[in-house]
Amino acid sequence: MDRLIAAKVFVDVAYTRSFTNTAERLEMSRPMVTRYIEAMEDWLQTRLLHRTTRKISLTTTGEVCLKQVEIWLEQAEGLSTLARPSDELSGSIRLAVSMSFGFSQLMPAVHEFMQRHPKVSIDIDLQDSVTDLVEQRIDLAIRIASAPDPSLIGKPIAVCESVLVASPDYLAGKPAVRVPSDLVGHDCLGYKNFGRHVWHLSKKERFESVDIECRLTANEATALLHAALCGAGISLQPTYLVNGYIKAGQLAALLPDWKPNDMKVYALYSSRKHLLPTVRALIDFLEDYFRRNAW
Name the least confident of 80-84, 127-131, 221-225, 278-282.
80-84
- Averaged pLDDT for residues 34-48: 93
Which pTM does this prediction carry? 0.72
Q: Which of 104, 89, 226 is nearest to 158 (CA)?
A: 104
In whole angstroms, give the CA distance from residue 166 to residue 253. 7
The DSSP annotation for the chain comes to --HHHHHHHHHHHHHH--HHHHHHHHTS-HHHHHHHHHHHHHHHTS--EEE-SS-EEE-HHHHHHHHHHHHHHHHHHHHHHHTS-TT--EEEEEEEE-HHHIIIIIHHHHHHHHHH-TEEEEEEEE-SS---TTTTT-SEEEEEESS--TTSEEEEEEEE-EEEEE-HHHHTTSPP--SGGGGTTS-EEEEGGGSS-EEEEEETTEEEEEE---SEEESSHHHHHHHHHTT--EEEEEHHHHHHHHHTTSSEEE-TTSEEPPEEEEEEES-STT--HHHHHHHHHHHHHHHHS--
Q: Dump pLDDT digits (tens) for 66-123.
A: 988 988 887 787 676 555 555 678 889 999 999 999 999 999 999 999 999 999 999 9
**Interatomic CA distance for residues 41 and 49, integer angstroms:** 9
Q: How confident is the model at residue 270 (pLDDT cuts 50, 70, 90)?
A: confident
What is the structure's pLDDT at 193? 60
Burial of 178 (0-12, 13-18, 19+ CB in 10 A): exposed
Comparing 174 with 275, the larger pLDDT belongs to: 174
Tens digits of per-residue pLDDT, 191-228?
876 557 899 999 988 999 999 989 999 989 999 999 99
Nearest to 176 by CA among 90, 66, 255: 255
- Is the pLDDT at 139 greater than 60? The verdict is yes
Q: How far apart are the first and last CA of the chain?
A: 49
- CB 129, CB 158: distance < 8 Å: no
Mean pLDDT for 269-275 is 68
Among candidates 163, 164, 209, 221, which has minimal Cα distance to 188?
A: 164
pLDDT at 23 over 60: yes
Rg over CA atoms, the chain: 24
Q: How confident is the model at residue 274 (pLDDT cuts 50, 70, 90)?
A: low
Amino acid identity, position 92: S
CA distance readout (Å), 212 to 103, 183, 279, 293 = 29, 7, 41, 34
Q: What is the per-residue pLDDT for 87? A: 62
The reported pLDDT for the residue numbered 157 is 95
The more confident residue out of 93 and 27 is 93
The CA distance from 209 to 205, in Å, is 14
